[in-house]
């Protein structure tokens, strides 16, 4: 066990602690990790500009884990570089604290708090002395920068203030993480969708939208395989968040029109439907889908296709077919190939003209054309 002086705080039935750690202790106890998907291609590493970076990135990255059980965003190298420089400036000048604000820490293991005889909220906090017993909820970049300095052989000799939670469940941790980050540090919307998709941030429609998009991005038979930026980063061309927003609207439309029974059927078949739907779209517009000078695989176009998904399903049912079946969907969207054709998506032709009204105008204009063509 490691023992530190602490202040016990209670807010609305939630108990947590305020304490401080030596840089050495907090580095030893903290587990650094980011949200990632097993088997997904890692985002390309940006080339280092000369010798300007004073961080040993190879060593630092070995310390950072990646898993679906994490919630932190991908590491921003520039931010760590800037913090490392700031820490060194603070040490040299001796006029400013390097980490004046508390980092927020969680643990799955319970701490033992022993209060003082005269002050029941002041006392000693005992924490299991295990590597990785602590996880960073807020302040991961600050602690990674501190780790980088320590690994370079420098001793800053500072105490790190911390707020510690040992009684939060997974849902509470992620909800607190989103609350802290969504507004103040502009957490990437796609990152929030991924947290919802893992059902830690409770929104069933966002969770289903996430599962659908992830399937489209990871299924090797998908025409959008590897094309979607699942966490707002990576080599994909289309961000996850706007697609998720459209799919959530689609789900709400189906539930409003079809009721609970239709919605339950869709929940069971949503991934199958969208996979077959994108296959049908790519087959109807083969030249545009495969060509570089077309805008069919942009966020605007894909959002329009998602908006008309209820019409496609209705058309498939009118044909007395299974609305989730590939052949039925392909038959339903067949008129698009005859009436719109590939040239509708030529970037420097009609698409560019439609774009003059802005992205929203492009989505709405294409949605109307697709809907009219189905009729």
Q: Which residues of 198-210 are buried (b: 16+ CB within 10 A; e: fewer)?
A: bbbbebebbbbbb
How far apart are the C-alpha atoms of 33 and 140, rounded to whole Å?
Answer: 9
Rounded Cα–Cα distance for residues 269 and 251 (Å):
12
Structure tokens at 87: 């820490």
Predicted TM-score (pTM) of this structure: 0.58
Where exactly are the structural domains of the chain? 2-184, 200-374
Phi/psi region, residue 130 (left: phi>0; alpha: psi -120 to 50; beta: rest), is beta
Q: How far apart are the first and last CA of the chain?
A: 71
- Cα separation, 270 vs 99, in Å, equals 47
Pairing outcome for strands 30-35 and 64-67? parallel
Q: List per-residue pLDDT tens for the chain, 375 residues long.
A: 899 999 999 988 889 999 999 988 888 898 887 766 554 544 444 444 444 557 777 777 777 777 666 667 677 888 888 898 888 888 877 788 899 999 999 998 999 999 998 888 999 999 998 888 998 888 888 988 898 888 877 778 889 999 999 988 877 887 787 777 655 555 566 666 666 555 455 578 888 898 899 899 989 999 999 888 876 666 677 888 889 889 999 999 888 887 888 889 999 999 999 999 999 999 999 999 998 899 999 889 999 999 999 999 999 998 887 889 999 999 999 999 999 999 999 988 778 766 655 555 688 989 999 999 988
- Give the pLDDT of residue 74: 74
Q: How many CB atoms lie within 10 A of CB 291?
A: 16
Q: How far apart are CA 135 and CA 61, in angstroms?
A: 16
> Which among 140, 11, 152, 121 has a CA at the least distance from the CA of 70?
140
Cα radius of gyration (the chain): 26
pLDDT score, position 324: 93
- Residue 17: strand pairing partners: 8, 164
């Amino acid at each position: 066990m490691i023992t530190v002086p602490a202040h016990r705080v209670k807010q609305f039935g939630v108990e947590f602690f305020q304490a401080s750690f030596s840089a050495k202790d907090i580095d030893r106890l903290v587990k650094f990790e980011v949200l990632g998907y097993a088997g997904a291609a890692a985002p390309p590493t940006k080339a280092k500009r000369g010798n300007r970076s004073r961080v040993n990135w190879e060593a630092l990255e070995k310390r950072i884990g990646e898993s679906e059980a994490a919630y932190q965003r991908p590491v921003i190298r520039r931010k760590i570089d800037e913090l490392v420089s700031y820490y060194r400036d603070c040490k040299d000048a001796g006029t400013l604290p390097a980490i004046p604000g508390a980092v927020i820490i969680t643990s799955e293991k319970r701490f033992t708090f022993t209060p003082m005889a005269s002050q029941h909220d002041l006392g000693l906090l005992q924490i299991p002395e295990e590597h990785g017993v602590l996880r960073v909820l807020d302040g991961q970049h600050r602690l990674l920068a501190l780790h980088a300095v320590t690994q370079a052989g420098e001793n800053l000799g500072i105490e790190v203030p911390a707020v510690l939670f040992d009684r939060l469940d997974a849902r509470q941790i992620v909800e607190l993480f989103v609350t802290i980050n969504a507004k103040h540090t502009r957490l990437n919307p796609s990152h929030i969708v991924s947290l919802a998709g893992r059902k830690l941030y409770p929104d069933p429609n966002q969770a289903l939208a996430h599962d659908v998009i992830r399937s489209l991005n990871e299924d090797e038979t998908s025409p959008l395989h590897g094309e979607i930026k699942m966490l707002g980063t990576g080599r994909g061309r289309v961000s996850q968040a706007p697609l998720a927003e459209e799919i959530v609207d689609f789900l709400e439309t189906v539930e409003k029109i079809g009721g609970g029974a239709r919605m339950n059927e869709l929940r069971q078949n949503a991934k199958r439907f969208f996979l077959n739907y994108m296959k049908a779209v790519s087959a109807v517009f083969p030249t545009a889908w495969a060509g570089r000078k077309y805008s069919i695989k942009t966020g605007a176009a894909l959002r329009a296709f998602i908006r008309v998904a209820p019409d496609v399903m209705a058309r498939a049912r009118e044909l007395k077919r299974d609305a989730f079946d590939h052949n039925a969907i392909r038959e339903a969207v067949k008129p698009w190939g005859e009436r719109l054709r590939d040239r509708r998506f030529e970037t420097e032709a009609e698409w560019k003209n439609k774009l003059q009204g802005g992205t929203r105008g492009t989505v709405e204009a294409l949605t109307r054309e697709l809907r009219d063509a189905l009729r």
